């Protein structure tokens, strides 16, 4: 099979205040992953390898850090970079200087595997498909090969969701997972006993990987993997639980549409929210008739469970 190549696009000095917006721009252009060089503020980490974590950044300017995004090497790459430059220029006040590097997918996908070990999160054990593991009594093993998609269970936003899923999925619920990535939450929900799960992502690669992981765990019959954002999915049924581990901006964008897909008494579990953006998310939830039932906080990240306020008679 021919080798697949990815292009690493690096911006050396991203202002911290604009980081989330810039990460969004990369994702809008179809980046397969966005990585911050400063491990203290890892956000949309799709991949890690020894080059990225623990690296020293001697040229780091105060209040800035490096950001790298990964694009498939194809005939759309030039256009994508041009459009990105156009969006970034007003924000940075100068024409962005991208540093480009070509990476063979196989090298990249293999390099970070040594960092992904079985993760215990409550009763759930996230086991990399290439690791051996002896299951202990009471454990629920989710076997995963995330490939190039986000979701290994090591990121706090995923961990918080997995902890809350274990509290919520105690009955055969109908679950919608928005931004499924590797399918980690969808597969976990199915293994916890969800009756049916719709696992959606705007990234076709994630949809494929989630389907493979559903298959690997013997729950493919209860998980429908679908590409698109919430409104594009054309959902005809209502869900007892909508889970979305996506960044604050994306959560704010879907909040108005969530009540339309929630069954009466249903819950919305939103994660991927940095502490600083939490008040905004709380306010947006309140405006759309949600009340916050519970929130969990870890390492500057927040996950929240919201329910629709009962209408007064
Ligand atoms: C942080 S990852 C979460 C992956 C996994 N659910 C987890 O908890 O680890 C976010 C995923 O959401 C997808 N995404 C971002 N915005 C989205 C949107 N508006 N609708 C659906 N998927 C979205 C991204 O492609 C990415 O795969």
CATH numbers and ranges of domains, the chain: 5-111 (3.30.70.260), 147-308 (3.40.50.150)
Ligand 1 pocket member 152 (CB < 6 A): no
Residue nearest to atom 11 of ligand 1 (CA): 179
37 known member of a binding site: no
Radius of gyration of the chain (CA): 19
Measured CA to CA, the distance from residue 297 to residue 203 in angstroms comes to: 27
pLDDT tier, 115 (very low <50, low <70, confident <90, very high otherwise): low
- CA angle 271/274/280 to nearest 5° reads 85
ipTM of this predicted complex?
Answer: 0.99
* Residue 158 marked in a binding site: yes
Distance 202 CA to ligand 1 centre (A): 7
Q: What is the pLDDT of residue 219?
A: 98
- Yes or no: say if 117 and 129 are a contact pair by the CB < 8 Å rule: no
Sheet holding 119-121, edge to edge: 119-121, 124-128, 140-144
Q: How far apart are CA 235 and CA 229, in angstroms?
A: 11
Is 180 marked as binding a ligand?
Answer: no
- Ligand 1 atom with minimal separation from the 151 CA: 9
Tens-place pLDDT, residues 167-218:
999 999 999 999 999 999 999 999 999 999 999 999 898 999 999 999 999 9
Share of the chain above pLDDT 70, in %: 86
Q: What is the pLDDT of residue 64?
A: 74
Banded model confidence at residue 40, pLDDT cuts 50, 70, 90:
very low
Q: Is the dihedral of CA 283, 163, 296, 170 positive or negative?
A: positive
Is position 132 annotated in a ligand binding site?
Answer: no
Q: Is 193 left (phi over 0), alpha (psi -120 to 50) or beta?
A: left
Query: Cα 295 to the chain's mean position, in Å?
Result: 18
- Amino acid 2: pLDDT: 66
CB–CB of 168/304 below 8 Å?
no
Residue with the smallest CA separation from ligand 1 atom 18 is 229
Per-residue pLDDT at 3: 72
């Amino acid at each position: 099979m021919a080798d697949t190549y990815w292009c690493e696009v690096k911006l050396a000095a991203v202002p911290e205040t604009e980081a989330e917006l810039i990460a969004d721009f990369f994702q809008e252009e179809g980046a397969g992953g966005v990585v911050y060089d400063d491990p203290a503020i890892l956000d949309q980490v799709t991949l890690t390898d020894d080059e990225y974590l623990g690296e020293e950044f001697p040229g780091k300017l105060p209040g800035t850090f490096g950001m790298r995004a990964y694009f498939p090497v194809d005939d759309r790459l030039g256009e994508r970079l041009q459009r990105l430059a156009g969006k970034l220029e007003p924000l940075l006040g100068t024409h962005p200087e991208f540093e480009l590097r070509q990476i063979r997918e196989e090298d990249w996908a293999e390099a970070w595997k040594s960092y992904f070990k079985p993760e215990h999160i409550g009763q759930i054990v996230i086991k990399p498909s290439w690791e051996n593991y002896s299951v202990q009594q009471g454990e629920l093993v989710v076997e995963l090969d995330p490939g190039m998609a986000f979701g290994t269970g090591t990121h706090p936003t995923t961990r918080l969701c997995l902890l809350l899923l274990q509290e919520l999925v105690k009955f055969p619920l109908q679950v919608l997972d928005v931004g499924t990535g590797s399918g980690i939450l969808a597969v976990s929900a199915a293994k916890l006993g969800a009756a049916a799960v719709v696992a959606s992502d705007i990234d076709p690669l994630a949809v494929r990987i989630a389907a493979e992981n559903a298959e690997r765990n013997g729950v493919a019959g209860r998980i429908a993997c679908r590409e698109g954002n919430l409104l594009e999915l054309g959902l005809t049924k209502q869900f007892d639980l909508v889970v979305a581990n996506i960044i604050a901006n994306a959560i704010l964008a879907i909040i108005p549409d969530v009540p339309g897909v929630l069954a009466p008494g249903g819950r919305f579990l939103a994660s991927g929210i940095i502490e600083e953006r939490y008040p905004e998310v709380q306010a947006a939830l309140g405006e759309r008739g949600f009340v916050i039932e519970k929130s969990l906080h870890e390492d500057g990240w927040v996950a929240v469970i919201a329910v629709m306020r009962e209408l007064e008679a």
